[in-house]
Amino acid sequence: MSIYAISDPHLSLQSGKPMDVFGSNWTDHWETIKKDWLQKIRNQDIVVVAGDLSWAIRYEEALADLSAICALPGHKILLKGNHDYWHGSLKKTRKLLFNQTYFIQNDAFAIGGYVFAGTRGWKQRGEETFSAEDEKVYAREAERLSLSLQAASKIEGEIIGVSHYPPFTQDLRASELTKLYKYYGVKTVIYGHLHGPKIKRSEYDNVVIEGTRYILTSCDYLGFKLLRVRE
């Protein structure tokens, strides 16, 4: 069993929103991801997809995108991203998933000696545009992460964190979220969200904060290929 990760596929198989408007590297990006996935992943392997799964607004629009992910081999562990507006009900979302696919929210999922826990996250305190409303969202995300890690701590296995937003500050320092990961002994956290010029900064290649390694898995950063996190 190996663990792979990728994030931000931004699918629009039904809603018809092409990603190549963000650059020619995004042309047919899902076909590139899918080809690599089929070459690498066995049914016993795990693939973490850390948010921004679909551009869809409603469930009926997201169904084709979710089905495309579910149909692929391996155990799929999904998380909400900031663009996953279609996700309104955990119960409803989980009803749409099949073929070894699981959606994390306020809980944890264990398989093969690993326990996956996390939350979407949010922009960080101290950012220029951080508002009073952002503080409310941030506090809620911190509580969700705490609930997820509490659940994970009750299960035997190595905890692997999953976040959509970078859990650390813009200057790559500790935050309330990274301190929660540290408290629960998490050594590896998978995250996404960053695209374009931001991800060309070499600082994001190997971020280690208080003993926890944060791995960026945005699909364009990875050249639209899955990254192996564990053998």
How confident is the model at residue 66, as a pLDDT?
A: 97
CA distances from 124 to 4, 46, 75, 171 (A): 27, 29, 31, 10
49, 78 in Cβ contact below 8 A?
Answer: yes
Cα 187 from chain centre: 16
**Could you give the domains of the chain?**
3-230 (3.60.21.10)
How confident is the model over 182-203, as pLDDT tens digits? 999 999 999 999 987 667 666 7
Half-sphere exposure of 94 (CA within 13 A, CB side): 7
The answer for residues whose C-beta is within 8 angstroms of residue 51's C-beta and 6 or more apart is 7, 8, 78, 79, 80, 81, 82, 84, 120, 164, 192, 193
How confident is the model over 156-174, as pLDDT tens digits? 999 999 999 999 998 899 9
Asked if pLDDT for residue 229 goes beyond 80, the answer is: yes
Q: List alpha helices for the chain, DSSP H.
A: 29-40, 59-70, 90-96, 132-153, 176-183
- The separation between the first and the last C-alpha atoms of the chain, rounded to the nearest angstrom, is 7
Averaged pLDDT of the chain:
94
Report d(CA 153, CA 189) in Å as an integer: 15
Report d(CA 102, CA 93) in Å as an integer: 10
Global pTM?
A: 0.94
The conformation of residue 144, written as its DSSP 8-state character, comes to H
- Long-range contacts (CB closer than 8 Å, 24 or more residues apart) made by 85-93: 85/56, 85/57, 86/54, 86/56, 86/57, 86/58, 86/59, 86/61, 86/62, 87/62, 88/59, 92/59
How confident is the model over 89-128, as pLDDT tens digits? 999 999 999 999 999 999 999 999 999 999 999 999 988 8
Q: List alpha helices for 78-196, DSSP H.
A: 90-96, 132-153, 176-183
Query: Dihedrals φ, ψ of 63, to 5°?
Result: -55, -45
116, 160 in Cβ contact below 8 A?
Answer: yes
The conformation of residue 215, written as its DSSP 8-state character, comes to E
